[in-house]
Amino acid sequence: MKCVCLVVPKEKAEKVRQKLIEEDLLIRKAKIERDEKYVYFPVKEKVEIRGCYLIEKDFEEIERKSYVDILKEKGIDIDSISIDFIGDIAIIRLINDSYAREVAEALMEANKHVKAVYLDRGVKEDYRVRDLQHIAGEEKKETLHVEYGVKIKLDVTKVYFSPRLAAERMRVAKQIEEGSIVVDMFAGVAPFSLIIAKYAMPKRIYAIDKNPYAIKYARENVRINEMENIIEVIEGDAKEIVPKLPEANHIIMNLPHKSFEFLPLAIRKGKILHYYEILERDSIEKRMEEIKALGRKEGYSIDIKNVRVVGSYSPAKQRVGMEIYVRK
């Protein structure tokens, strides 16, 4: 296959390879080539890296089997599986757990970057941490996930993180005006804050969480992405911290099981609330009316826009996102 090729001097090759993987620029279907002086990387687009140059080149195509093909060869037909790739860790959910080991091994064979596989047995209150059982590969728990070029370090057994919200985070970032004050009320390891700091121009972001592990990683993530002058990470209960913060242009409320409980607090503090809640399909309208009534009770007028389903939660329930505009 013919594609753009980044020619890299041998001594720089490993560093460049890491960077290309992190930024998802490497074409995985094409085989990387080497000679005595250079390594030839097939890349998705023209990248500029000091000391390297670009050519057009024919690469050998790699035949890759998917985990479904591998399982089928073993006579296993999996009808329902959900997988989250977080850095080099895969987290799987199955209807029938008895195939977990076979699925995990097939997944590792098909996805060479996966170093560990865990079975997800649900999310635990109150820090929303997953109950994980190690199934295959190394027993590693800490990983580095890259989302739109932002580095997110975390321990999958100690904090909440969902790679499925990547598009949602970018969607929110695009709405943040220059100079805004942002409060990330339930920040976790701070993915919303980090994406906003990279793709918008806020004045300040306050990232709050009460899980001390989430706070440890949030602080580290702010440091490794060099965003210390924008994001302030605060450990504690949002109920106590939010009243002490300055007025906010935007508040992110990603605690979908309990966010309604925190709404009066957010209505008093913020102008645009990026609100998420787990709701039954036919209870969305009712909830919107309750939110408006809550606003009136607090003495504000409320407009609700962009009501959308962000993800499924169970056959009957969905993760719903909406923007709540508060007029003071």
Ligand X SMILES: C[S@@+](CC[C@H](N)C(=O)[O-])C[C@H]1O[C@@H](n2cnc3c(N)ncnc32)[C@H](O)[C@@H]1O
Residues interacting with ligand X, by CB under 6 A?
A: 126-128, 160-162, 165, 186-188, 191-192, 208-211, 214, 237-239, 254-255
Residue closer to ligand X by CB (options 136, 218) is 218
Residue closer to ligand X by CB (options 44, 258) is 258
Residue closer to ligand X by CB (options 112, 239) is 239
Q: Smallest distance from the beta carbon of 192 to ligand X, in angstroms?
A: 5
Q: Which of 124, 111, 116, 117 lies closest to 99, judged by CA?
A: 117
Q: Smallest distance from the beta carbon of 101 to ligand X, in angstroms?
A: 29
Q: In this structure, what token pair is assigned to residue 185?
A: 């009320």
Dihedral sign from CA coordinates of 270, 272, 278, 284: positive
Residue closer to ligand X by CB (options 186, 275) is 186
Q: Smallest distance from the beta carbon of 206 to ligand X, in angstroms?
A: 11
Residue closer to ligand X by CB (options 102, 209) is 209
- CA dist 241 and 247 (Å) reads 13
Q: Smallest distance from the beta carbon of 186 to ligand X, in angstroms?
A: 3
- Cis before 237? omega within 30: no
Q: Where are the beta strands (DSSP E) in the chain?
A: 2-9, 33-34, 38-43, 53-58, 81-86, 89-94, 116-124, 129-137, 142-147, 150-155, 181-184, 204-209, 231-235, 248-253, 270-280, 301-312, 317-327
Q: Smallest distance from the beta carbon of 248 to ligand X, in angstroms?
A: 15
